[in-house]
Amino acid sequence: MARRGRRSKFEARHHGPTRARHVALEGVLRVARPGSASVVTEEGTFLVAKGGLHEGMNGDVVRVTLAHHGPGEPQAQVQTVVSRACHSFVGTFGVAGPLGAVVPLDERIRRDFFVLPDDASAERLGVCEGDVVVARILTYPSRREAGVVTVARRLGSPDGLDIPIERIIASYDLPAHFGPEALAQAEDIHADVAATLAAERKRKDLRDIVCVTVDPATARDFDDAVSCERTAAGGWLLGVHIADVTYYVRWDSPIDIEARERTCSAYLVDRVLPMLPERLCNDVCSLVPGQDRLAMSVLVELDAHGEVLSSRAYASAIRSRARLDYGMVDRVLAGEAGADALACEEGVDPEAIAQTLRDLARLGELRREVRRCRGAVDFESVEAKVLLDGTGRPTGVSVRRRTPATSLVEEAMLVANEAVAAKLAGREDDLPAAFRVHEQPSPGSLGATIPALRELDLLRAGEAERLRAGDPFCIQDVLARADGTSGEYPANTMLLRAMKRAIYLPRNDGHYALGAKAYCHFTSPIRRYPDMCVHRALKALLGMGRDAGFDVRARSEAQRIMPQLCRSCSERERAADAAGKESQRVKMAELYEGRVGESFSGIVVGCERFGLFVRLDETCTEGLLPMRALGEEWFSYDEDTMSLTGEATGKRWRLGQRVAVVVAGCDPARGRLDFRLA
């Protein structure tokens, strides 16, 4: 068991535990499992007392009061729900007399929900007793009354359904189907590039430029292509060519309205829930190699040191000469494969493509140094994806790290995004666009990482105050020091969590982490609606707004709704990202179901009063080493250094510590792994 070694921050601020009673706070409710919940507030995270959940549900913003229930920290009682996070859920339909009943499959929702007798939704959808359905909440349950729902969709019988994934889709309110009007419109769209070039005099024909797509091997939609050539002055002319989605998706058309509601594609472990109909994503708008396609192109001239000299933007027509994947590009750059291994369009010299890749890789290195010198903060990220067979069963894990291939594409996209943002910045009054804004982190958030970073021996004398003040060069030094050590992942995670989330705003406020004065998303209009907003604004700047169906009336309407649209895009992005990660955890737990009892090595990446979070070396997945698995003694929890110390033995557990664990149990429905010490 664990207990505090000192007063909590809340108690210190309120001068002792006796004054902590009945203080109201607002925060986000997190329900881990039935009977276990916490509320995350600006004052800290507090456990919810037994019976204190009341009408609260996971993800809700709630107001709570704190009170002591014996020794230890104060516990929270939910008083009111400020805003709801859950609007629908997946459940099993049944009949209860004249009422229909839907029992949630998510065990964290311990409530009763009924379908009223005058609601014919179940009958209309052909729902039978025992079917799995998506229920939309009409009235939330209270202490005195059950909740009321309507059946939004029939998923089918439990047999043959991937229930945990369906639950995630419903709980994050992700739309899984397009309306008939949008689908009908998509079927009538064709990529007639020659006719468009003839009709739009301002569109530039760039089909003679040698450009390529570089994507993951499994990608099906190609929304960006790159080109690069040396200039006479010893610099580079970088070309970033992005699918011209807004030529086909006009403002307020059926497809545009659906895309505006979705705001982004959601990438789950076993499927993609796209923002646009498949005909556009994978065909008409996709920069398929060997096919003429409409694009928005940005040509950026850079000097020999990678500094931007000038940039030009065009509505264009291009032709991708090769579809390359990251693995192949890495092998060519490393000299492990020759140029003849590149699958190019017939008539294209593979060596010319290989030289383009080498130029892009060298330019990428220079750009990283340019960004570092201006204070950009790069966090190391590792992406672990579960591999599935044809039936959806997990077969293994693919761990993707930053490589020369991924880096050269990333740097090219950053250059293009900054170039477009610079053109639109200051023109927000007549060019409605969505800027990507990242504010400087608060001193409190950064200051909270100092004790743990000291514990990892990553802070040097005099750096604490620089870190607290948000000096990006100090953060760079800490991350460089952590590189390759056992503290690398914990340090990256802590500092990343101390950052504020990047959001979309209708004005340019700069981007702290990138060290950019102006930034926007321009490079992925197939999967992000803010990029479509930027494309329309850029076309208006180029005098092509009317050609894109973005006339004065449409611009005025976009100007009016842009603040709310930016908020919606930020919120839906977070939901899609969370759903994708949760779906990965579900399949990861399924994978380890067959490995219960096996031993693995890992590293402690998190420490709480209830146990340690361990990240396995093999797959980068995380699981919980609960307190009971550490021994029978009491452990003192130090919140500042995020460590546990045994009061009898003095045994200490801290971040970055290597540990051998055994998989003790798996809960695929909730995406959880439990460990015990090996």
DSSP assignment of 60-71 equals: -EEEEEEE--SS
Share of the chain above pLDDT 90, in %: 74
- Average pLDDT rounded to a whole number, residues 424-436: 92
Provide φ and ψ at 656, rounded to 5°. Answer: 85, -5
| Per-residue pLDDT, 72 | 67
Query: Is residue 102 within 8 Å of 116, Cβ to Cβ?
Result: no
Per-residue pLDDT band at 19 (split at 50, 70, 90)? very low
- Listed in sequence order, the DSSP H helices in 132-192 are 163-171, 180-187
DSSP-based three-state secondary structure for 369: helix
Say yes or no to pLDDT of 464 above 70: yes
For the stretch 276-309, what's the b/e string if a residue is b when 16 or more beta carbons lie within 10 angstroms of its beta carbon?
bbebbbbbbbbbbbeebbbbbbbbbebeeebebe
**What is the CA 560 to chain-centroid distance, rounded?**
27
- Residue 644, strand partner residues: 637, 653
| Per-residue pLDDT, 14 | 45
- Average pLDDT rounded to a whole number, residues 209-238: 93
Say yes or no to pLDDT of 663 above 60: yes
Helices and strands per DSSP (H, E), number in the chain: 18, 31
Closest CA to 623 of 664, 678, 580, 582: 664
Per-residue pLDDT band at 22 (split at 50, 70, 90)? low
CA distance readout (Å), 428 to 313, 534, 587: 18, 11, 44
Output the CA torsion sign for 266, 277, 569, 172.
negative
d(CA 258, CA 255): 5
DSSP-based three-state secondary structure for 77: strand
d(CA 542, CA 490): 46
- Average pLDDT rounded to a whole number, residues 122-148: 92
DSSP-based three-state secondary structure for 529: helix
d(CA 663, CA 611): 15
Q: β-pairing, 211-215 with 503-505?
A: unpaired
DSSP-based three-state secondary structure for 135: strand
Work out the burial of residue 410: count CB atoms within 10 Å of its CB; fewer than 13 is exposed, 13-18 middle, 19 or more buried.
Answer: middle
d(CA 298, CA 563): 27
| Per-residue pLDDT, 114 | 96
Most confident of 10-14, 156-160, 399-403, 508-512: 508-512
d(CA 564, CA 126): 37
Say yes or no to pLDDT of 5 above 60: no
Q: Is 359 left (phi over 0), alpha (psi -120 to 50) or beta?
A: alpha
- The per-residue pLDDT for range 601-647, each reduced to its tens digit, is 999 999 988 899 999 999 999 999 998 899 888 899 988 899 999 98
Query: Is residue 147 within 8 Å of 113, Cβ to Cβ?
Result: yes
In the chain, the amino acid numbered 184 is A
Q: What's the angle, vertex CA 29, arms to CA 628 and CA 33, rounded to 5?
A: 40
- Average pLDDT rounded to a whole number, residues 227-250: 96
Work out the burial of residue 649: count CB atoms within 10 Å of its CB; fewer than 13 is exposed, 13-18 middle, 19 or more buried.
Answer: exposed
| Per-residue pLDDT, 56 | 92
Per-residue pLDDT band at 15 (split at 50, 70, 90)? very low
DSSP-based three-state secondary structure for 546: coil
Work out the burial of residue 61: count CB atoms within 10 Å of its CB; fewer than 13 is exposed, 13-18 middle, 19 or more buried.
Answer: middle
Q: What is the pTM of this model?
A: 0.86
Q: Indicate the range of 27-41, 392-406, 528-542 predicted with least confidence.
A: 27-41
